[in-house]
Homo-oligomer: A and B are copies of this chain.
Amino acid sequence: MNIVCCDLEGVFTPEIWINVAERTGIPELRITTRDEPDYDKLMKYRINILKKKGLKLKDITDVISTLNPLPGAKEFLLWMRRLTQVIIVSDTFIQFGMPLMEKLDFPTLLCHSLVINDDGAITGYNLRTTDPKRKTVSALKSLNYRVIAMGDSYNDTSMLLEADAGILFRPPENVIRDFPQFRVTTEYNQLKDIISEELNNNNL
C-alpha cells in the first residue's frame, strides 16, 4: 500500500518564518533552513530574536492566522486524500502549524513543538526527534507502506532519499543540482501526474 509524506512550507503553505519576518518588520527572522541547514542553530537564533523584540507566541500565531495556503494547495491535497493516505511531515511547530491545518481541512501533521512559559513567551522548543522526516518514512516503511515523499528544500532530502519515490516541488537550484535523482515539479498538476503514475504502477 502507498502513503504520501509531504513537507508543509513551500509545498502547501508559504514559508512561515519569512512571512513572520515581513509582517513583524524583523528581517533577521527571514533566515530559513535553505540558508542555515543546522536546524538547532537556526531555532536558537530565532528564539533569541523574539526574546529581544519582546514577541510572544500569540504575536506570531496572529500573523500565521492571516496566511493562506498556496493557491491550489488545498484542492491538490484534497485530490490526494481522496486517492491515498497523506501525512504532512514538517520541521515547524504544532502551535504554528495548526492555524494552517485548519485552512487545509486538518490533514495529519507530524512536527515539533514550542515550549511556552506562563507569560506566553516562547522560551524553547522540543525537537520531537532528530531527522524526523527520514524517520517518519522509515517508520511507515516498517509498517509495510510504500512511501512517496515530496518536499522543496534541503531539509526534505533525507526524507526523499529514504522514500520509495522522491519528488521535489519548486526547489531552489542548488537542491536540483545536488539531488539529480529526484523528479522536479513546479505545478500541482505535474504532481498529480506523478502521484497518479506512482499509485497506478504500485497498486494499493
Contact = CB atoms under 8 A, between A and B. Distances in A.
Interface stretch (A124-132, A173-181, A182-190): A124-132
A124 to B, nearest CB: 12
Question: Does more than half of chain A's interface fall in helix, strand or loop, or is it mixed?
Answer: mixed
Q: Top 7 closest A-B pairs, CB basis?
A: A139-B139, A113-B204, A81-B106, A108-B108, A129-B144, A128-B144, A1-B113
Interface in A110-160: 110, 112-114, 126, 128-129, 132, 135-136, 139-140, 142-145
A86 interface: yes
Nearest to A87: B108
Interface of A: 1, 3, 78, 81-82, 85-87, 94-95, 98, 101-102, 105-110, 112-114, 126, 128-129, 132, 135-136, 139-140, 142-145, 203-204
Contacts of A143: 110, 128-129, 132, 135-136, 139
Contacts of A108: 85-87, 107-108
A128 B142 contact: no
Nearest to A101: B81
Given A3-B110, A85-B110, 13 more contacts: A1-B112, A1-B126, A78-B106, A85-B108, A86-B108, A87-B108, A94-B204, A106-B107, A126-B204, A129-B144, A136-B143, A139-B140, A139-B142
Contact of A109 (B85, B107, B144): B85
A1 B129 CA distance: 11
Contacts of A81: 101, 106
Contacts of A144: 128-129
A23 to B, nearest CB: 24
Nearest to A80: B106
Contacts of A114: 204
A94 B1 CA distance: 9
